[in-house]
Amino acid sequence: MCGILFVLYTGIRWEWLPAELGFGSGMTCWRRLRDWNNAGVWQRLHEVLLAELRAADRLDMSRAVIDSSHIRALKGGPKPAGARSTEADRAPSTT
């Protein structure tokens, strides 16, 4: 997990994860992140942490920000006035 957190925190590429740090290869860390994400580990961890904070009365919702990365946006918002589709303006294919 430390290798995953290191890459996510620093923003380095997975393949550049230094072996000297002892986290394993970047590819191994990436595969674990993928597998844990698919298994719902991160979602469950998030839920447990929120429950712990709520139980300790340490959850400050005045600073919460909700966006489409947290809640699925079903159809999006209204289109701005004057917005038009580009569907009819497509150029013919040249291939």
Question: Across the chain, which distance is largest between two alpha carbons, in Å?
Answer: 63
Q: pLDDT digit string (tens) for 3-42?
A: 999 999 999 999 999 999 999 999 999 999 999 999 999 9
Distance separating alpha carbons of residues 94 and 75, to the nearest angstrom: 33
Please report how many Cα atoms fall inside a 13 Å half-sphere around the Cα of residue 13, on the Cβ side. 2
Q: Tell me the whole-structure pTM to 2 decimals.
A: 0.58
For position 63, what pLDDT does the model report? 82
Domain ranges in the chain are: 2-57
- Confidence label for 85 from pLDDT (cuts 50, 70 and 90): low
**Mean pLDDT of the residues in the chain:** 85
Given a cut of 80, whether residue 86 has pLDDT beyond it is no
